[in-house]
Homo-oligomer: A and B are copies of this chain.
Amino acid sequence: MDIERILLAHGSGGRLSQQLIGQVFRPAWSNAYLDLMLDAAVLELPAGRVAFTTDSFVITPLFFPGGDIGKLAVCGTVNDLVACGARPLFLSAALIIEEGFPLRDLQTIAESMAQAAGEAGVKLVTGDTKVVERGSADGIFINTTGIGVIPAGLDYSPAAMRPGDRVIVTGPVGDHGLAILARREGLSFSTPATSDCAPLHRIGEALAGFGRGVRCLRDPTRGGLATVLNELAEQSGCGISVREQDIPVSPVVRGACDMLGLDPLYLANEGKMVVVAARECAEEVLRRLRQVPEAAQAALIGEVVADPPRMVVIETELGAVRILGTLEGEHVPRIC
């Protein structure tokens, strides 16, 4: 293709659409399903319940320290499948591209998607490309929708949470949110802020052996750790009590948040998981998690309590106890 920018006709379904698929997506994503070029991919799934999840990515900037929208789009959906206990298997990818978008950037994004998918062991099996007029979208938006299979015996759900269960986070929080914010606002720190964007399939594999000893997983993306803890409290009917000093936060995130007046507990993460585990196996879960590269800094941060129900309380470093609410308003728009 000797054009350098995306044209409206690349979204027409006609010859230029076919060229774009043939020259950008098929070489990057090639697999036996995609290559058939049917209206749908036809999959043979292993036995088990099927997990099905969707996410659109509208992040700005498209390229950021630690990743780009393509890597994020694959990791985000892989991680939602992992959060359900599923082994991620297949992804669809649907792109909405603004007319004039650089073809080179599209190729970079397609290759990032392929690389992240390869790492996570998932296949990009079906896709769609639409092009809208200049000014009708902001660069590129990507939807990924994923299918995974949940092994027998796993049934992660907040409904399984019980007072006394332990709450674990798989590493320092706030990195993705800060990296995006810093890039967007042109802030620089002595240690650069880097997104934690990563596929967490190995965390899923590490936890599968604990069966119902692991109650539920949740990835703290938009709204951050605080919002996800509140969702878990709301959905379980239990309370959650966490200790501020046990929540890992990297020095760069802590420093930047102090300076900017942000709370790292509300900043998005794209490579972390919140794990609720039964008290009796929580230590073993923690030990096992720390063997996974993406969870090497996993930490026990609190526990499930009966009272107050449906709320999250945090014991601050000064020993005070306060309510940790859900994100109100918009902290950092277009973070994912």
CB neighbours (8 Å) of A150 from chain B are: 42
Q: How many residues of A contact B (CB 8 A)?
A: 78
- Give the residue name and chain of the B residue nearest to A84 (CB): B40
Those 10 A-B pairs whose CB atoms lie nearest each other, nearest first: A13-B222, A14-B327, A40-B53, A145-B145, A54-B92, A13-B223, A136-B138, A143-B143, A9-B330, A40-B51
- Residue from B42, B55, B145, B328 in contact with A49 in the complex, judged by beta carbons closer than 8 Å: B42
| Segment with Cβ contacts to B, from A124-132, A168-176, A308-316 | A124-132
* B92 and A145 contacting across the interface, CB-CB below 8 Å: yes
List residues of chain B with CB within 8 A of the CB of A81.
Answer: 39-40
Known A94-B143, A138-B137; contact A223-B50, beta-carbon cutoff 8 A: no
Nearest CB on B from A328, distance (A): 6
Q: How far is the CB of A24 from chain B (nearest CB, A)?
A: 17
A219 to B20 CA separation, bound complex (whole angstroms): 21
Quick check: is A64 within 8 A (CB to CB) of the other chain?
A: no
Q: Tell yes or no: A162 within 8 A of B by CB.
A: no
> A101 interface residue, CB < 8 Å from B?
no
A147 part of interface (Cβ distance < 8 Å): yes
**In the assembled complex, how far is the CB of residue A88 from the closest CB belonging to chain B, in whole angstroms?**
10
In the complex, residue of chain B having the shortest beta-carbon distance to the beta carbon of A9: B330
Q: Give every chain B residue within 8 A of A334 (Cβ-Cβ).
A: 130, 132-133, 136
Whether A157 lies near B53 (C-beta < 8 A) is no
- Known contacts: A8-B330, A128-B55. The answer to whether A96 contacts B13 by CB under 8 A is no
Assuming A39-B219, A138-B132, is B15 touching A52 (CB within 8 A)? no
In the complex, which residues 19-42 of chain A have their Cβ closer than 8 Å to any Cβ of chain B?
36-42
Which of B17, B126, B219, B268 is A54 in contact with, Cβ under 8 Å?
Answer: B126
Residue of A54, A86, A92 with highest tally of chain B CB at under 10 A: A54
* A150 CA / B45 CA spacing, docked (Å): 12
- Nearest residue (CB) in B for A133 is B333
Q: What is the distance, in angstroms, from A184's C-beta to the closest C-beta of chain B?
A: 12
Contact of A93 with B by CB under 8 A: yes
Seen from chain A, the residues whose Cβ lies within 8 Å of a Cβ on chain B are 7-9, 11-18, 36-45, 49-58, 80-81, 83-84, 86, 90, 92-96, 125-128, 130-133, 135-138, 141, 143, 145-148, 150, 157, 218-219, 221-223, 227, 235, 268, 326-331, 333-334
- Bound together, the chains give a CA A15 to CA B223 distance in angstroms of 9
Q: With A and B bound together, what is the CA distance between A327 and B96 in angstroms?
A: 20
From B13, B95, B227, contact of A14 by CB (8 A):
B227
Chain B CB count within 10 A is highest, among A83, A138, A141, A148, for A141
Q: Are B92 and A56 in touch, CB under 8 angstroms?
A: no
Chain B residues near A328 (CB, 8 Å)? 9, 14-15
Question: With A and B bound together, what is the CA distance between A54 and B12 in angstroms?
Answer: 16
Given contact pairs A13-B221, A96-B96, a sample of 8 additional A-B residue pairs in the complex whose CB atoms are under 8 Å apart: A15-B328, A36-B157, A39-B218, A39-B219, A42-B150, A45-B50, A50-B147, A96-B141
Question: Are A9's CB and B52's CB within 8 A?
Answer: no
Partner of A53, one of B126, B138, B221: B126
A145: nearest chain-B partner, CB-CB: B145
> Shortest Cβ distance from A327 into chain B, in angstroms?
3
Residue pair A145, B94 in contact (C-beta under 8 Å): yes
